Structure 1
Amino acid sequence: MICDQSWSMGSLGSLLLVCGLLPWRAFLQEHSNAAQNCFCQVSGVLDDCTCDVETIDHFNSELFSKLQILLESDYFRYYKVNLNKACPFWDDNSHCGLRDCAVQPCPTDVPAGIKSASAFKYSQEANGELAELDCEKERRLGAVDVSLSEAAQETLSQWNKHDDSKDNFCEVDDEESPDAEYVDLLINPERYTGYKGPDAWKIWNSIYEENCFKPQSVKRPLSSWVLGREHLFYQWLEDLCVEKRAFYRLVSGLHASINIHLSARYLLKETWMDKVWGHNVSEFQKRFDALLTKGEGPRRLKNLYFIYLIELRAISKVLPYFERPEFVLYTGNQSNDLTTKLLLVDILYAAKSFPLHFDENALFAGVSKEADQLKMEFRHHFRNISKIMDCVGCFKCRLWGKLQTQGLGTALKILFSERQIANLPDRGLSQGFHLKRQEIVALFNAFGRISTSVKELETFRALLQKISRE
């Protein structure tokens, strides 16, 4: 999560609003329908897709509760991440000093099976002795159970080689690094932290300007178009090929989702005893109101639905990998692990049943040499974005930014590994397609964030309609 970095608002009324010179209710009274201003174009068929917004809303409402239960399970709530990596693109020692930017790492109750990473055997060691290990001294997430056969250990070695290959769409933290720590995502939720200003702006500017595609004829910085300062941005966007449009829409959709999270879990009130978090309608309006954003806000929300389709398609395609009897969501608790896997498979079958999936075959379908070159550029740009997450000054923002970019990168890896997934053996280990636990946790938590954003739109729509009636 790259925290409070909103798009430009671009009107005198919005400037007065931000400066506190115009009451929010008075501002809304200038417009006949506050909800319509945000959602006026968020309906119907999505660009470059056969799906429509209403179908996604209905499907997400049915899937949402199951997905939340899955993400609260032990396997999916603990994520190992290195939040101390240096920014690879510029010298930056600035870190957010706000309390809400802090991350509580290394919980003592991480299941021993997760720390041992033994996905092949329920042993007394994994269930008992490992639980006594001190968290700060635990260095190896990927330790191999010594009882594994030589063939299985060779397969694991091949997996590591594959994971480090050029096929990955994002940079993955070294889980064996002394700086990599477990984080409980449930006690470090994504929400507004107060991180904003030039540092946050620099992150998004680098993402849009240096890593999104644009025509060579466009000399003006891409960020000045994307961030709400010009009307003509979408005119030349439509002239790009479908792959480059898709790349921008993924980035924009992720940006929109993050801004929804900030608006939905905003610090509304703070006392010496407690903090009150909740929906901040004014923050939502600043980012998505059609008038305040010169018509771009609703487009951003549509891009949220686009990234939803991409990640939904990915989890539907990876069903054969998770459905195999050998695959275990291993934590060391056999009963809980079985229940979690059954829930996961149920969610994957639901995803597969979605009637209007995105057709990834439309991407990179041109002349082989040109398509391969474009795919390589696509991957390179996205890997750069994943590296930029190590430049985020707010540690909580960095945590969720790294997780969500890794989740999206894993989704792209799945979409372009169709042959490897199709060739998975029905039984036994494979030296082909493989996902690390870190990638699995990121994949489903990232989709959970997008699903939550779509769900939160219902709440904001209702709140805005209530304000309009009053």
Structure 2
Amino acid sequence: MTFPSSHLCLLLVLIATSNFEAHVQDACFCQLSGKIDECTCNIDTVDHFNNVKVYPRLRSLLRKDYFRFFKVNLKRDCPFWHDDSKCAIKYCHVQACGDGDVPVGIKGAVERRFDSEAACEDDAEELDYLNKTISPKMKEDLVMWTAYDDANDNFCAVDENDEGAEYVDLLLNPERYTGYKGPSANRIWNSIYLENCFRPKTYYSPYIPTSTLNNMCLEERVYYRTISGLHTSINIHLCANYLLSNSHGLSLTDPKGEWGPNLKEFQRRFSPETTNDEGPNWLRNLYFIYLLELRALAKAAPYLEQELFYTGNEVEDFGTQMAVKDLLNVAQQFPNHFDETTMFTGSAQASRLKHEFKEHFRNVTRIMDCVGCEKCKLWGKLQTRGLGTALKILFSQKFNHKKLFQLQREEIVALFNAFGRLSTSIYKLDDFRQMLQH
């Protein structure tokens, strides 16, 4: 079959245009294939594992009462600078729970029961006798020693014991775009990357080029990929749950706005053209932090399977226990987990590096108090707390001594919710990929 020369030229133009459009459409995802950095499994494997096995389970589990109520102090002042910025949306204020909103078992009004309700009277008397041998001063010292010991073990600045801490219903305060941007928001991430990340001494841009990471040691690369993956995940949430004001004539101050995916915003944040070719690599880092937190869940499974997830509602508590065990069973079956045993090994330098790693991340959790948008602060604090809990599980020396290692309720809630956010991000990536293809 032959074409007139004019038709042939038109056909070539159409083919070239089609190829260019396909390139633009696929650009954000051009690095989402092959082996995940610092790990042994492929991105396609994680996509299928998450979207088919993990995401549906987490979506159901995180609606349970035990996981929907999170105690947090949103009134802490920024410890690093004065900031009076506000988010653009009028309705991004977080409403704390009232006294009657939180299940009685979560508030601690009813003791959690790990054994039978009936306690042996003789044992109780013996315990009472033993307690009397401890002086009030010794009790004070024990509390202080325990607090100091726990503080050294934690990767987070803890605030649920503050006087200003309150319970928040996460389902009533979903993470989504609030219009919080500009100098205040940029200052948060610049401070995290420039002041609280390991970085080459001669490189002063907030984001470290992927090519430069190879010149850093494993622990430094892991830290940067973790922070970058967290940042990526948060950005995906904002793009996936965006106020669609342009197409529906609504503004950021409209309480009944329609929320949904914003493809242009996603492309702006991750396309090579707008990110100096780094956006696709940032998306890869999402998979890295996903594997890191997945490994923490699998490693802590024997511990978490003993938790009662107590709220006071026996039927729901039993359902929560079964759902958690089911998810943990799936997590443990994943064949290619992140291997934390390759980190912080050997020399005194490794011990120093671990201390710096921990201090850097503690500062990141403190920086969350500087976020000017209350809803952004809530989810920033929850996700950094969850990541810090995962790091505690992976790198705490106490973990191998089951009687010494413990997780508080807020750590467990944050751990599962933070992993839920990463799972949602990977699931939403598939939505954006399909939108680009149409």
| TM-score, normalised by the number of residues in structure 2 | 0.85
Structure 1 residues not aligned, in runs of 5+: 1-26, 124-145, 227-232, 425-429
In 1, the alpha carbon distance for the partners of 2:27 and 2:257 equals: 31
Given candidates 231, 238, 243, the residue that maps to 2:214 is 238
1:320/1:421 contact within 8 Å kept: no
The answer (yes or no) to whether the contact 1:64–1:452 under 8 Å persists in 2 is yes
Contact 2:309 2:317 (8 Å CA) reproduced: yes
Residues 1:268 and 2:244 aligned together? yes
Which amino acid in the other structure matches residue 44 of structure 1? G
CA contact (8 A) 1:101 1:394 kept: yes
1:93-242, aligned counterparts within 5 Å?
93-96=84-87, 98-107=89-98, 108-116=100-108, 118=110, 120-121=112-113, 161=147, 164-175=150-161, 177-216=162-201, 218=202, 220-223=203-206, 225-226=207-208, 233-242=209-218
**2: CA distance between counterparts of 1:93 and 1:465?**
42
What are the Cα deviations for residues 388-426 of structure 1, in whole angstroms up to 9, with x where unaligned?
000000000000000000000000000013x634432xx
Match of 2:313 in 1: 333
Equivalence for 1:416: 395
Q: Which structure 2 residues correspond to residues 278-427 of structure 1 after superposition, within 5 A?
A: 278-324=260-306, 327-367=307-347, 369-417=348-396, 420-424=398-402
Question: Would you say the 8 A contact 2:86–2:180 is kept in 1?
Answer: no
Q: Identify which range, 163-172 or 88-97, moves more after superposition.
A: 88-97
Distance change >3 Å, CA 256–CA 273, structure 1 → 2: closer
Match of 1:461 among 418, 433, 436: 433
Tell whether 2:412 aligns with 1:440: yes
Equivalent residue, structure 2, for 1:53: 43
Higher gyration radius (CA): 2
| Preserved contact between residue 119 and residue 329 of structure 1 (Cα < 8 Å) | no
Q: Could you tell which deviates more after superposition, 434-443 or 46-55?
A: 46-55
Amino acid at match of 1:255: H
Are the aligned partners of 1:98 and 1:194 in contact in 2 as well (CA < 8 Å)?
yes
Give the 3-state SS of the residue equivalent to 1:32 in structure 2: helix
Q: Distance in 1 between matches of 2:342 and 2:174?
A: 36
Residues 117 and 330, structure 1, Cα contact 8 Å, conserved in 2 = no
Moved over 4 A (4+): 27-30, 146-154, 156-160
Higher mean C-alpha deviation, range 441-450 or range 343-352 = 343-352
Q: Displacement, 1:52?
A: 1.1
CA distance in structure 2 between the partners assigned to 1:106 and 1:30 by the alignment: 52
**Counterpart-to-counterpart distance in 2, 1:236 and 1:344:** 40
Cα gap change, 1:119 to 1:422, in 2 (>3 Å): farther
SS in structure 1 at match of 2:273: coil
Q: What's the C-alpha RMSD, in Å, of the aligned pairs?
A: 2.7
Q: What displacement does 1:30 show?
A: 6.4
Deviation string, structure 1 residues 251-296 (Cα, Å, up to 9, x no partner): 1000100110000000003376821000000000001112332321
Deviation at 1:320, TM superposition (A): 1.2
Deviations 1:93-129 (A, max 9, x none): 3333632321121244210111116553399xxxxxx
Match of 1:31 in 2: 21
Q: Which moves more between the two structures, 454-463 or 58-67?
A: 58-67
Q: Which moved further from structure 2: 334-343 or 455-464?
A: 334-343
Identity of aligned residues (%): 52
Q: Distance in 2 between matches of 1:465 and 1:385?
A: 37
Alpha-carbon separation, structure 1, partners of 2:322 and 2:144: 28
TM-score between both structures, scaled by the size of structure 1: 0.79
Distance 2:178 2:297 in 1: 30
- Is contact 2:91-2:255 (8 Å) kept? no
One-letter amino acid of the structure 2 residue matched with residue 377 of structure 1: E
Change (3 A) 1:82 1:281: same
User: How far apart, CA to CA, are the structure 2 residues paired with 1:435 and 1:187?
Assistant: 26
Take 2:375 and 2:126, find their aligned partners in 1: how far apart are those partners?
A: 37
Change in CA separation of 1:267 and 1:163 when aligned onto 2, cut-off 3 Å:
farther
Give structure 2 stretches of 5+ with no counterpart.
1-16, 116-123
CA distance in 1: counterparts of 2:215 and 2:97, whole angstroms: 48
Amino acid at match of 2:153: D
- What is the alpha-carbon distance in structure 2 between the residues aligned to residue 115 and residue 60 of structure 1? 33
Distance in 2 of aligned mates of 1:457 and 1:235: 24
CA contact (8 A) 2:63 2:171 kept: yes
